[in-house]
Chain A
Amino acid sequence: MGFNGIGGYLNRPGEIPVEVIIAYFVFALAIAIILGKRNGGLKAFKTVDWVYIGIGAAAAYVWEFIIGAIIGRAVPSGLSNFIDVGFWGRLFIVFIVAALVRKVGAGMITLFLFNFFSDLFHYGFSGEPMYFIYESLTYGLFVDLGIAITGGKIFGIGVTGSTSKVVALAAIEGGIIGFLWAFPDPIFYGAFFKPFLYGGVVNWSRIIYDLISFIPGDVVIGILAGLASNRVQKAVQV
């Protein structure tokens, strides 16, 4: 029965060994702390950054759970793996927040607050704190790694050079982070957190199918979101 809806099943058929998952999250946490310290941590955040994050988290919640969920129901279920309007909206919004804040931690904090809102309005905190860890240290961390690697110049913002260079950078970075965003749901959730929380059997052919079917859409939307983030950042800063 477990605690708060967490069954705690560790040896379900096909489940990724817990040691591998712990190793990833310890490593991810270490990276998050190191990057955070190197970039001034939360103290580097200005008040306006917290406002952007708050608005982004609320928008991501509203889009993924209400508007995107409604639009998504018009998509035939067989295509829902390829066309996920709700998830794509979250990706779009988180990228825009990252483009506005451009400080390491923006991704993880936005995902943390998004998860808090999802619990408050929708899930009711069942399975927590697992989802806080999962959302922040996968999707959120990937965005923050993008910010760290580009030295705060994510999606070509602040890069000097020709427009085509900036556009290419925004598209490439968006595409790479979009590609990374295709992994957490099938690999981390489908092959570990879902069986860990609820039991059942991991169907690896389904996991592989999910991963392969998520990648094209997430990459394309990632590219568009990268380009849009660059434009939105300019429009907001005016």
Chain B
Amino acid sequence: MKVNFVFQQPNLPPLVELAISWFIFLFGATGPIVIILAFVGIRGFLHITRFESGEGILYKLSPLTKLIIVISTTVAVSLTIWWFGAILTLVFWSLFFTLNEAKRKVLYVSYLLLSSILGVSTGFAFYTPYSVLQMAFNTNTLNVIWVWPSYFSFAGYEPYLTLQALYYGFQITFRFTAPMLAGLLLILTTTPSDLMRYLAKVKFPLPFIFALTVAMRTVPRIFDTLDTVVKLQLMRGLGYGKPSFLRPFYVLIAGLYGLVPTLIFLMKGAKYTAIAADTRAFNSTPRRTYMKEVKYTKADYVAWGLIVVLFVTVALLLAFGYGRGIPYVGY
């Protein structure tokens, strides 16, 4: 199908256009990195992936209920129009206010959200072929808002940035953000041992639950260890004397170098975890007993009610033609 381009880009001197194109190219590629490194940092990830006890409503829900919320959210956003995903994103973002030390967590997760929106939007908008946009928006007319230098095509860019491509990228973002926030909330408000008990209840094999528990405990420890390894490398002179604006790149390089030392450190500790589990007769029988009984509270029943409401809303949206408006077909 032939594409009709309506050129609406600003009329600027060629040099200014070139400078802006390169700025957008660099901002599109490095913007999310700068946001994450400058504001969240490696230690910031530790705070938004580590359980800390609290009193909010989410701490009272059973892990299974929270897992069902994560799965239901994914199903809901994958079936419905983009703004429903945006609403769910807002709902989950608001729930961060109910957490322990909410202010810091909301701040970190907001930076992460902004970075994800920028990253995913530009990740899709600049590269999406026009044929996909034609299919997604059911139109042959695309509004050009920027013309890239022709050599940008070597980096995979489409020749023109269109308004429809920006919409496409932005709307797709909410397919990722809502489940991402729901997943983080689950991790932040659930102890690994709680999750273990509930997964055992639904007959998940015990060794898998154990490995999963170890993995859950390991995620924040990875950030902690990697942060130390990165700082040690910087202390030993990596990037010393270089301009300060290059610092984030040296942090990235240190992160790259830090992979193997981090793994060795974590794996060396594995035998102590194994000894600790074995001395408690782990895996000596196919099933084990738990001191704490698995129980569901009033909060769980309310949450299940809300999940039903979520699916009823999805069904209504689909019935009224607010289903998946833009197909996620990638590029």
Partner of A93, one of B71, B77, B226, B263: B263
For residue B202, give the distance in angstroms from its CB to the closest CB of chain A.
14
Q: Is the CB of A54 within 8 A of B32?
A: no
Please judge, given known A-B contacts A61-B219, A77-B156, whether A122 and B183 are in contact too, CB under 8 Å.
Answer: yes
Q: Name which residue of chain B comes closest to A235, CB basis.
A: B264
Please judge, given known A-B contacts A47-B282, A124-B183, A199-B327, whether A62 and B264 are in contact too, CB under 8 Å.
Answer: no
Partner of B210, one of A50, A63, A92: A50
Q: How far is the CA of A5 from the CA of B73 in the complex (A)?
A: 12
Interface residues of A, count at CB 8 A: 56
Q: Name which residue of chain B comes closest to A96, CB basis.
A: B263
Q: How far is the CA of A42 from the CA of B211 in the complex (A)?
A: 13
For A155, what are the chain B residues with a Cβ–Cβ distance below 8 Å?
none
For residue B297, give the distance in angstroms from its CB to the closest CB of chain A.
23
Give a binary string over B177-190; 1 marks a CB under 8 Å from any A CB, 0 the rest: 01110111011000
- A98 within 8 Å of B by Cβ? no
Please judge, given known A-B contacts A51-B273, A122-B180, A232-B260, whether A77 and B127 are in contact too, CB under 8 Å.
Answer: yes
- B329 within 8 Å of A by Cβ? yes
Interface residues of B, count at CB 8 A: 72
Q: Is the CB of B215 within 8 A of A57?
A: yes
Q: Is the CB of B182 within 8 A of A54?
A: no
- A67 within 8 Å of B by Cβ? yes
Q: Inter-chain contact count A-B, CB under 8 Å?
A: 176
Q: Is the CB of B267 within 8 A of A55?
A: yes
Of B73, B176, B218, B256, most buried by chain A (CB within 10 Å of CB) is B218
Q: Is the CB of B156 within 8 A of A78?
A: yes
Q: Name which residue of chain A comes closest to B67, CB basis.
A: A120
Q: Name which residue of chain B comes closest to A5, CB basis.
A: B78
Q: Is the CB of A121 within 8 A of B255?
A: no
For A67, what are the chain B residues with a Cβ–Cβ distance below 8 Å?
226, 255
Q: Is the CB of A50 within 8 A of B207?
A: yes
Chain-B contact segment, one of A16-24, A68-76, A140-148, A212-220: A68-76
Q: Is the CB of A125 within 8 A of B70?
A: yes
Partner of A120, one of B176, B187, B282: B187
Please judge, given known A-B contacts A74-B252, A116-B212, A126-B78, whether A228 and B179 are in contact too, CB under 8 Å.
Answer: no
Within 8 A of A (CB), among B260-296: 260, 262-264, 266-268, 270-271, 273-274, 277-278, 282-283
Q: Is the CB of A70 within 8 A of B36?
A: yes
Q: Is the CB of B330 within 8 A of A124?
A: no
Q: Is the CB of A70 within 8 A of B33?
A: yes
- B98 within 8 Å of A by Cβ? no
For B264, what are the chain A residues with a Cβ–Cβ distance below 8 Å?
232, 235-236
Please judge, given known A-B contacts A70-B252, A123-B74, whether A76 and B330 are in contact too, CB under 8 Å.
Answer: no
For A61, what are the chain B residues with a Cβ–Cβ distance below 8 Å?
215, 219
Q: Is the CB of B74 within 8 A of A125?
A: yes
For residue A12, give the distance in angstroms from its CB to the closest CB of chain B.
11
Partner of B71, one of A63, A117, A124: A124
Q: Name which residue of chain B comes closest to A4, CB basis.
A: B75
Within 8 A of A (CB), among B42-91: 45, 70-71, 73-75, 77-79
Q: Is the CB of A113 within 8 A of B215?
A: yes
- B308 within 8 Å of A by Cβ? no
- A59 within 8 Å of B by Cβ? yes
- B216 within 8 Å of A by Cβ? yes
For residue B82, give the distance in angstroms from its CB to the closest CB of chain A.
15
For residue B272, give the distance in angstroms from its CB to the closest CB of chain A.
9
Additional A-B contacts beyond A58-B214, A123-B179 (10; CB < 8 A): A54-B212, A54-B214, A55-B215, A55-B267, A58-B216, A73-B30, A78-B155, A92-B260, A109-B208, A126-B78
Closest 8 CB pairs of A and B: A124-B179, A54-B214, A124-B74, A48-B274, A58-B218, A58-B215, A54-B211, A78-B155
